[in-house]
């Protein structure tokens, strides 16, 4: 093959690569906004699921991720991440917090869910945003039977038990899915730790507006 043919082939390959790259970028651009809209709607739905009485959810004053990590570490909690925290409002009055947690130690990977906590510390419930546990086992974390362990319960800490939930704070483990049960339960405890810390420090909405 002579030099002219080599250059021609190289230019053709470059053109194909360039066109493919531009096409991929274009597809990403036109799908970016719809995907973001769907994700935001899913978050809002989760907020309402765990705080049905709220008519608005307001962002808090920016808190560095490291601050939340320090709060969890102080509570003896590892691996969990805090994705988002918003204040649940009704008629302009503060009702509590919705804390979105990413539990990193699920059996099938990360479990992302929102936890609604009233201002007196009572957990309204949880709403799962994403989960990839085993069908028929860990996926039962999405079912009412398991989630009722947290619904309208007040406890300083939730603990998984295999002998049935005898009191608030006991979490009846999903049969055959103890790892999933523990991951979600630890995530709820993470949300409570953040709630307690923010309540103690004083909750402020974006703009520095304090709530009581």
Mean pLDDT along residues 163-168: 79
Q: Which residues, including other chains, have CB under 8 Å from residue 38's CB and lie 6 or more apart?
A: none
Q: Are strands 93-106 and 81-90 parallel, antiparallel or unpaired?
A: antiparallel
Residue 48, pLDDT above cutoff 90: yes
Least confident of 97-101, 133-137, 165-169, 183-187: 165-169
Residue 26, pLDDT above cutoff 80: no
pLDDT of residue 148: 95
pLDDT of residue 95: 96
Q: What does residue 71 show for φ and ψ, rounded to 5 degrees? A: -65, -45
What proportion of the chain, given as a percentage, has pLDDT over 90?
Answer: 63
Residue 104, pLDDT above cutoff 80: yes
Asked if 65 and 101 touch (Cβ cutoff 8 Å), the reply is no
pLDDT of residue 55: 93
* Closest C-alpha among 178, 171, 184, 151 to residue 79: 184
Using the Cα atoms of residue 151, residue 157, residue 161 and residue 167 in order, give the sign of their dihedral: negative
Task: Report the predicted TM-score, pTM, of the whole model to 2 decimal places.
Answer: 0.81
| Torsion angle in degrees (nearest 10) through CA of 137, 140, 146, 150 | 120
Domain ranges of the chain: 56-210
Torsional class of 164: left (φ above 0), alpha (ψ -120 to 50), beta (otherwise): left
Residue 135, pLDDT above cutoff 60: yes
Does 21 or 85 have the greater pLDDT score?
85
Least confident of 23-32, 59-68, 123-132, 163-172: 23-32
Interior angle at CA 192, CA 190 and CA 196, nearest 5: 120
Q: Which residues, including other chains, have CB under 8 Å from residue 127's CB and lie 6 or more apart?
A: 45, 46, 47, 49, 50, 113, 114, 116
Label residue 38 by pLDDT band (50, 70, 90): low
């Amino acid at each position: 093959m002579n030099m002219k043919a080599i250059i021609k082939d190289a230019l053709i390959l470059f053109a194909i690569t360039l066109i493919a790259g531009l096409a991929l970028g274009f597809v990403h651009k036109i799908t970016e906004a719809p995907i973001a809209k769907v994700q935001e709607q899913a978050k809002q739905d989760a907020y309402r699921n765990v705080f049905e009485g709220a008519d608005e959810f307001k962002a808090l004053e920016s808190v560095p991720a490291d601050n939340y990590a320090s709060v969890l570490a102080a509570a003896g909690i590892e691996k969990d991440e805090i994705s988002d925290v918003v204040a649940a409002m009704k008629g302009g009055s503060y009702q509590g917090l919705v804390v979105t947690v990413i539990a990193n130690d699920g059996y099938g990977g990360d479990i992302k869910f929102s936890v609604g906590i009233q201002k007196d510390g009572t957990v309204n419930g949880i709403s799962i945003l994403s989960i990839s546990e085993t069908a028929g086992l860990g996926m039962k974390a999405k079912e009412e039977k398991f989630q009722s362990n947290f619904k309208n319960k007040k406890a300083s800490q939730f603990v998984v038990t295999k002998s049935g939930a005898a009191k608030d704070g006991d979490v009846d483990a999903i049969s055959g899915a103890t790892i999933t049960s523990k991951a979600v339960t630890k995530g709820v405890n993470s949300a409570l730790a953040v709630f307690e810390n923010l309540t103690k420090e004083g909750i402020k909405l974006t703009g520095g507006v304090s709530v009581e």
